[in-house]
Structure 1
Amino acid sequence: MTRPPKPPARADKVSLLRYLSLFRRDILSAQPARLYRAWMAEFRTPFFRSYLVNQPDLVKQVLKARPEDFPKSDRIGEGLRPLLGNSVFVTNGETWKRQRRIIDPAFEGGRLRHSFPAMLAAAESAVTRMAPRCGETVEVEAETSHAAADVIFRTLFSIPIEHEIAAQVFSEFRHYQRSQPILNLAAFVPLPRWMPRFFRRDTRASARTIRTLITSLTADRMAEIEAGTAPADLATKIMTTPDPETGETFSTAEMVDQVAIFFLAGHETSASALAWALYLMALYPDWQDRLAEEAQTLPFILPNNLPPEGRSAKPSPDFSCVSSLRLSRDVFREALRLYPPVPMMVREARCPERFRDRDVPKGSQIVLSPWHLHRHERLWDNPDGFDPGRFATENGKTCLREAYLPFSAGARVCPGAGFAMVEGPLLLSYLLRHFRFELSNRPAPVPVAHLTVRSDTGIWLRVRARSSGPGGPSSR
């Protein structure tokens, strides 16, 4: 049976210089195959030690039981600071706690209902853009990036991706993504604060442009809030929510940092997961047909530029339809397992530890790898296989609790996790209701880690229109 693509693992033993070279190019293929079975592995450099931890009880200790003893490492954040500033993604301690107290209420379960119409509008827009491409071979990562960015701008600022500033941010971010390595020199060498970080000139320029554009949107929204004319979207909610302990709200400058990470985390990760989900549907057409059939039962309205046989006069769905997307949710969840957008997370030991009868010195880097944990051979049944039904099994339920971290876990779980699990299945269902995605004659994509897990040369799929008749979806 065909297995989803997986990057090649390196030899167990390579020189430090070779490892660093591989690591900077792609952190996934730089790792040895033994990590898919190891409970723990140690990596030494001249400057620090790293410990990759796969054992579920140790992962739980780091993320859930004692998160303050394992703060987020500065080494990963160093490469993203030109864009993210002092956002919630890179902060620790009291600063991070204050930021989460203000941000979290905007993503509570009840608020998702308010964001749903904007998600739906973005899904309809994605179908409208895709419709003229039927019969073509399309690079779907570009399409899912467009759709995910549209969701972010509509839910955050009530503007579509076609808005002048939103379009500029999206365009500039694509350039930033191509120019930004996953890690810069500071990830490997402990540079003092005063020393330059050696960011590429075009990376700095892109980050500066993006932040200038976001500052314009944020300042305009602040003025609308003061005038009492602001729409009730996520930006307004976050900017008007006071810290329950101090009563303070975010300043415009602070909000720029947060919007930058919302765009990066909410757009880049969703685009990655949705692109891989579409590829998996092309690889497993029987599952694709099942999802398309499920989507046919929902009251979706199709854009007017689709052929008459593909339209529907049924009313637009409301938030309650999300609970009906069971197969779509399982497929999206399995795509997140096989291709977690953030493949590794790094924490730092604040004090000496002892893991698995091994001393872990203070300052060591604790690496938690969803990529390896999600495919761990001693935890999951059929770890490299595609099986959306696994989550109904005892093994799947156990691993879902103990070895599934697409959004991290514990105190630092992504505040937008619930948002993503509505957005992803909805976009997936919408696209599969209208289109059939088929493998092209190009080589299978190989996953690599850039800002998120993307393919090495893009994900190219052939798109065909579906027709909806009495017998259900068909385009054969």
Structure 2
Amino acid sequence: MSPPKPPARADRVPLWRYLCLFRTDILSAQPARLYRAWMAEFRTPFFRSFMVNDPKLVARVLRERPMDFPKSNRISEGLRPLLGRSVFLTNGDVWRRQRRLIDPAFEGGRLRDTFPAMLDAARAMGERLPEGDVEIEAEASHAAADVIFRTLFSIPIEHNTARDVFDEFRAYQRTQPILNLAAFVPLPRWVPRFHRRKTLRSARRIRALIEGLVTERQREIAEGTAPDDLATKILTAVDPDTGDRFGRDEMVDQVAIFFLAGHETSASALGWTFYLLATHPEWQERVAAEARAFMAAPDFSGLSRLKVTRDVFREALRLYPPVPMMVRETVQPEGLRDRTAHKGDLVVLSPWHLHRQSRLWDNPDGFDPARWTTENGRRCAREAFIPFSSGPRVCTGAGFAMVEGVVLLAAVLAQVRVLPVEGRVPEPVAHLTVRARDGIWMRVAKRDELPDRG
């Protein structure tokens, strides 16, 4: 039985119904043919878009000519109150400068420095997880936020400010629609963006709390007492081209996206991974065996031995990519297969559909971690697997996220067994990330006890 995916809509539906679906759940708004099509064109009275599932076009947009396909401001409008001018939203020279300052903190060698903090957060999740029926997305959110605060500011989630940011962010998620009105209707800059009042209030509170953390860290850096964590590395980084550093307001923008990307996306990936393991016990036992051996003497170099755990996590990222769609905009006319995109048209890259493209993947809707060792799996990994995007704009924290996911899975599954809860099949929907409409429920039991299947 294949893991759940949302129902696709009919190929034809009235425009207003489509826009309502798109604002509330991107996934169920899409027609079923997109799981096979190389490209599809969508027209509305206000914009035209092309969804591309052809690996050659994806490579052109993301790797070969990324500056000719900048991120679309239409999509960023909804996130700007929280993220400001963070690296997630900017383009051109501003984006290049931001990446020059941020990227060194996430280089491969630096991941070793963050491993102890990740491990502490992972152990805390394993100890905190209660027995019985558990909504695992909430637990994963808690753990992912803990990882971010420990690695970024050297404080656990129990710290008052960290807890306040986490609580406010949960309020923000509940009030933030996927897309703002400006995504559908072209608005002049002077026209208000009609953000919800609760959304604006939550964004202001989150940014004020982050500003306090950044200001305190700048003081510690000036006094020579700052810990050597990610916040210190980024705030002390010097742009090799200009000699500039991030100021306080710029750093608030970047911390906001680190929290959004590093917390929200990781929580989504972890929640679905636990569900897939709960419904595929043979794979769960293989992960548990690796996990117990690793957790007996955990160290960074030992991560290379968690091969099955890594393949399981990659398979969860394939089936449930946290960011289901990425939107770019054309800056000039572009030939896209047999169509021509005009300047200002949208190009939609959909990891959700590309990862399940039936012309590319063997058993595209099935959960099969062993696929990554097959010829088809290796080819698709190169050409059709983009959970963190690809090319110059690949997620800065992609390596960080892969280590975090594997460590959290190992720490938890070394201690507990997870089983599905009867009648609780999660339905994927796209909010800020791919989540379950009513949460992901499972039964948790200690590994030295037999689980109650009743």
Shorter-chain TM-score: what band? over 0.9
Specify the alignment match of 1:294 in structure 2.
290
Letter of the aligned partner of 1:264 in structure 2? L
Report the CA distance between 1:357 and its aligned residue: 2.0
Partner of residue 273 from structure 2, selected from 249, 266, 277: 277
Q: How is 1:399-418 mapped onto 2 (pairs within 5 angstroms)?
A: 399-418=380-399
- Contact 2:324–2:351, Cα closer than 8 Å, also in 1: yes
Letter of the aligned partner of 1:9 in structure 2? A
The answer on 1:185 being equivalent to 2:172 is no
Q: For 2:61 and 2:291, how far apart are their aligned partners in 1?
A: 40
The answer on 1:380 being equivalent to 2:376 is no
Specify the alignment match of 1:122 in structure 2.
121
Letter of the aligned partner of 1:394 in structure 2? E
Specify the alignment match of 1:224 in structure 2.
220
Secondary structure of 1:454's counterpart equals strand
Q: For 1:371 and 1:410, how far apart are their aligned partners in 2?
A: 18
Q: For 1:25 and 1:357, how far apart are their aligned partners in 2?
A: 31
Partner of residue 455 from structure 1, selected from 436, 440, 445: 436
Q: For 2:373 and 2:281, how far apart are their aligned partners in 1?
A: 21
Q: For 1:285 and 1:180, how far apart are their aligned partners in 2?
A: 36
Q: For 1:84 and 1:355, how far apart are their aligned partners in 2?
A: 32
Specify the alignment match of 1:309 in structure 2.
none
Letter of the aligned partner of 2:361 in structure 1? W
Q: For 2:252 and 2:357, how far apart are their aligned partners in 1?
A: 38
- Contact 2:329–2:347, Cα closer than 8 Å, also in 1: yes
Specify the alignment match of 1:307 in structure 2.
none
Specify the alignment match of 1:340 in structure 2.
321
Task: Report the count of equivalent residues.
Answer: 452
Secondary structure of 1:79's counterpart equals helix
Cα displacement string for residues 147-199 of structure 1 (whole angstroms, at most 9, x for unaligned residues): 00000000000000000000000001011111101101011011111111111
Letter of the aligned partner of 1:412 in structure 2? R
Cα displacement string for residues 224-261 of structure 1 (whole angstroms, at most 9, x for unaligned residues): 00000000000000000000100110001100000000
The answer on 1:141 being equivalent to 2:140 is no
Letter of the aligned partner of 1:151 in structure 2? V
Specify the alignment match of 2:8 in structure 1.
9
Specify the alignment match of 1:429 in structure 2.
410
Specify the alignment match of 2:96 in structure 1.
97
Secondary structure of 1:238's counterpart equals helix
Report the CA distance between 1:475 and its aligned residue: 5.5
Specify the alignment match of 2:332 in structure 1.
351
* TM-score, length-scaled by structure 2: 0.98
Report the CA distance between 1:474 and its aligned residue: 6.8
Secondary structure of 1:219's counterpart equals helix
Secondary structure of 1:347's counterpart equals strand
Letter of the aligned partner of 1:432 in structure 2? L
Report the CA distance between 1:61 and its aligned residue: 0.3
Letter of the aligned partner of 1:347 in structure 2? R
Letter of the aligned partner of 1:99 in structure 2? Q
- Contact 1:442–1:460, Cα closer than 8 Å, also in 2: no
The answer on 1:264 being equivalent to 2:256 is no
Q: For 1:106 and 1:466, how far apart are their aligned partners in 2?
A: 37
Specify the alignment match of 1:322 in structure 2.
303
5+ residue gaps, structure 1: 301-314, 468-472
Cα displacement string for residues 256-294 of structure 1 (whole angstroms, at most 9, x for unaligned residues): 000000000000000000000000001101110111011
CA RMSD of aligned residues (A): 1.0
- Contact 2:334–2:340, Cα closer than 8 Å, also in 1: yes
Specify the alignment match of 1:303 in structure 2.
none
Report the CA distance between 1:18 and its aligned residue: 1.0
Q: For 1:149 and 1:322, how far apart are their aligned partners in 2?
A: 22
- Contact 2:278–2:284, Cα closer than 8 Å, also in 1: yes
Partner of residue 170 from structure 2, selected from 167, 174, 186: 174
Secondary structure of 1:100's counterpart equals helix
Specify the alignment match of 2:229 in structure 1.
233
Identity of aligned residues (%): 68
Q: For 1:88 and 1:34, how far apart are their aligned partners in 2?
A: 34
- Contact 1:436–1:464, Cα closer than 8 Å, also in 2: yes
Report the CA distance between 1:430 and its aligned residue: 1.1
Q: For 2:328 and 2:419, how far apart are their aligned partners in 1?
A: 40
Specify the alignment match of 1:304 in structure 2.
none
* TM-score, length-scaled by structure 1: 0.94
Q: For 1:240 and 1:50, how far apart are their aligned partners in 2?
A: 41
Secondary structure of 2:28's counterpart equals coil
Letter of the aligned partner of 2:74 in structure 1? R
Report the CA distance between 1:299 and its aligned residue: 3.7
Report the CA distance between 1:297 and its aligned residue: 1.2
Secondary structure of 1:80's counterpart equals helix
- Contact 1:67–1:411, Cα closer than 8 Å, also in 2: yes
Specify the alignment match of 2:106 in structure 1.
107
Letter of the aligned partner of 2:219 in structure 1? A
